[in-house]
Amino acid sequence: MMKRVVITGLGVVAPNGVGIPMFTQAIKHGVSGIRHDIQLQQLQFSCQIAGQPEISAALKSEYFTELELRGFNSTGILYGVVAGIEAWKNAGLPMDKNSNPDWDSGTIFGAGTSGIDKFRESIYKIDGLQTRRLGSTVVAQTMNSGISAYLGGKLGLGNQVTTNSSACTTGTEAILMAYDRIQLGKAKRILAGSTGDSGPYIWAGFDALRVCSSKYNDAPQAGSRPMSATASGFVPGSGAGALVIEDLDSALERGATIYAEILGGHINSGGQRGTGSMTAPNSEAVQRCISQALKNTGTEASRVDAINGHLTATSKDSLEIENWTKALQRSGADFPYINSLKSLTGHCLSAAGSIESVATVLQLYHGFVFGNINCEDPNPEITSLIDCSQIPRQTLYTDLNIIAKASFGFGDVNACLVFKKYNN
């Protein structure tokens, strides 16, 4: 018999809030984490603003030993470890130092790249004939599975410990992979999430593609404008989101807080055929991903109360809305509420799906729909499809039962999750 799957722990490192309490207040009150980035200015980027989490030395020392921090230079692993351990503790799970692994618990924690700054540092040492001075942790910091390896060791995880990577769908995909494993009874709990490195060596390629915002360098918090007529591209961001995904029986047995239930979802690809390409979505695939997610979970489209979209503040926003209207067969004032966290954080790339899923779960648990800042001028192509009232600019406090969350990524890949308010 298939297991019911619930969320019992949350952790986040976001540009507008490190830790669940700060992040919750930020999304409720429309607090942006986008700031001017002096390094991007010095490197003459077109986009000189970014969403980058602020982590103090004191906070680092709570999660890493002095020895671990010696020679440490991987923001992605830093963010992922902080978010992952917060979620673990938030779930009420012990940080045991037992000699035996926890065979029932694992992690599926995604990443786009790992330790890009460590790579750069290592390249200079190698070219300078200093290979022996690379240090003992260079491999762990730069291998793509570095984040899951660090979390697996810190938490003593004995079930599956792995890292997935699927561009901007990475975090959403990780949650679905964890859901599948738990539903089949192969694990009691999985720490699922994703992380993304900070800095120019991650963001430069997007700046070169001219998909980043360059018109708001003097007004950083106005720069990320999903669904707006004056959107001019996405603002790069970084961070990590983490969720403890657990089977319901296990959660109830240990008296855990249950934030939401995962009904399931769907993952697919447009195969870069038709309208799809490396950088553009195949609309048929997007619509199929959404409709199949609803079918897989037995959810009628009319029951979806809200959508947390991908919505990057590019020219593709109106196409995404069109795909939602077709997949749900809902439009105008009948369309669900829709929001985009990217107005507050920028586009956190491989970390986007997990951070946005944390925000989605918080909305269900606390009963609110956070507002879309910078959308005082909705794109007319969007308002021809859905009513302005469904694009809240300020936080709405309302009872929610089901929220759909989707991510669409480079390579024409798609993932859609269906979250439900937990009821006994």
Which one, of 133, 141, 138, 140, lies nearest residue 115 by Cα?
141
pLDDT in tens, 183-224: 999 999 999 999 999 999 999 999 999 999 999 999 999 999
User: Do 234 and 310 reside in the same domain of the chain?
Assistant: no
- Give the per-residue pLDDT at 142: 80
Single-letter code of the amino acid located at 250: S
User: Do 191 and 48 reside in the same domain of the chain?
Assistant: yes
**How does residue 136 score in pLDDT terms, banded at 50, 70 and 90?**
low
Single-letter code of the amino acid located at 90: N
How far from 123 is each of 150, 287, 300, CA to CA, in Å?
A: 23, 43, 53
pLDDT in tens, 380-393: 999 999 999 999 99
The answer to which of 78-82, 112-116, 357-361, 364-368 has the lowest mean pLDDT is: 112-116
Neighbours of 365 (CB within 10 A): 19
**How does residue 139 score in pLDDT terms, banded at 50, 70 and 90?**
confident
Query: pTM for the complete prediction?
Result: 0.96
Q: How far apart are the first and last CA of the chain?
A: 18
How long, in residues, is the chain? 424
Q: What is the DSSP letter of 74?
A: -
Q: Are 148 and 107 in contact (CB under 8 A)?
A: yes
Listed in sequence order, the residues at least 6 apart from 128 whose beta carbon sits closer than 8 Å to its beta carbon are: none
Write the CATH number for 360: 3.40.47.10
Q: Using the structure block, give the residue that is written with the tokens 């009904």.
A: 263
Q: Are 7 and 258 in contact (CB under 8 A)?
A: yes
> Which residues face 107 on adjacent strands?
161, 191
Last residue of a domain, one of 212, 244, 260: 260
Higher pLDDT, residue 143 or 35: 35
Mean pLDDT, range 342-352, rounded to an integer: 98
Whole-number average pLDDT of the chain: 95
pLDDT in tens, 278-329: 999 999 999 999 999 999 999 999 999 999 999 999 999 999 999 999 999 9
Whether residue 134 is predicted with pLDDT greater than 70 in this model: the reply is no
Which one, of 283, 260, 263, lies nearest residue 271 by Cα?
283
- Give the per-residue pLDDT at 244: 98
Whether residue 235 is predicted with pLDDT greater than 70 in this model: the reply is yes
Sign of CA dihedral 59, 63, 66, 69: negative
User: Do 174 and 238 reside in the same domain of the chain?
Assistant: yes
The two tokens of residue 217 are: 């360098």
Q: How many domains does the chain have?
A: 2
Q: Are 342 and 313 in contact (CB under 8 A)?
A: yes
| CA–CA distance, 64 with 78 (Å, rounded to integer) | 9
Whether residue 138 is predicted with pLDDT greater than 90 in this model: the reply is no
- SS3 at position 38: helix
Q: Are 247 and 189 in contact (CB under 8 A)?
A: yes
How far from 364 is each of 263, 303, 306, 408, CA to CA, in Å?
A: 14, 14, 10, 22
User: Do 293 and 252 reside in the same domain of the chain?
Assistant: no
Last residue of a domain, one of 225, 244, 260: 260
Whether residue 124 is predicted with pLDDT greater than 70 in this model: the reply is no
Q: What are phi and psi for residue 192, nearest 5 degrees?
A: -110, 145
pLDDT in tens, 32-67: 999 999 999 999 999 999 999 999 999 999 999 998
- Give the per-residue pLDDT at 125: 74
**How does residue 117 score in pLDDT terms, banded at 50, 70 and 90?**
confident
Q: What are phi and psi for residue 199, nearest 5 degrees?
A: 110, 170
| CA–CA distance, 389 with 399 (Å, rounded to integer) | 17
Whether residue 126 is predicted with pLDDT greater than 90 in this model: the reply is no
pLDDT in tens, 18-31: 999 999 999 999 99
Q: Tell how strand 260-269 and strand 306-308 pair up.
A: unpaired
Whether residue 114 is predicted with pLDDT greater than 90 in this model: the reply is no
User: Do 340 and 322 reside in the same domain of the chain?
Assistant: yes
Mean pLDDT, range 147-173, rounded to an integer: 97
Mean pLDDT, range 342-361, rounded to an integer: 98
- Give the per-residue pLDDT at 127: 63
Q: Are 339 and 310 in contact (CB under 8 A)?
A: no
The two tokens of residue 255 are: 């008296």
Last residue of a domain, one of 238, 260, 282: 260
User: Do 218 and 350 reside in the same domain of the chain?
Assistant: no
Q: What are phi and psi for residue 282, nearest 5 degrees?
A: -80, 110
Whether residue 130 is predicted with pLDDT greater than 80 in this model: the reply is no
User: Do 88 and 130 reside in the same domain of the chain?
Assistant: yes
- Give the per-residue pLDDT at 119: 62
User: Do 158 and 301 reside in the same domain of the chain?
Assistant: no
- SS3 at position 263: strand
pLDDT in tens, 392-420: 999 999 999 999 999 999 999 999 999 99
Single-letter code of the amino acid located at 10: L
- Give the per-residue pLDDT at 97: 78
User: Do 240 and 302 reside in the same domain of the chain?
Assistant: no
User: Do 166 and 296 reside in the same domain of the chain?
Assistant: no
How far from 307 is each of 227, 369, 375, 402, CA to CA, in Å?
A: 13, 10, 16, 9
User: Do 212 and 114 reside in the same domain of the chain?
Assistant: yes
Range of the domain at 188: 5-260
User: Do 229 and 307 reside in the same domain of the chain?
Assistant: no
- Give the per-residue pLDDT at 115: 79
Listed in sequence order, the residues at least 6 apart from 50 whose beta carbon sits closer than 8 Å to its beta carbon are: 15, 34, 35, 37, 40, 198, 203, 235, 236, 237, 238, 346
Q: Are 311 and 399 in contact (CB under 8 A)?
A: no
Higher pLDDT, residue 137 or 280: 280
The two tokens of residue 102 are: 């926890």
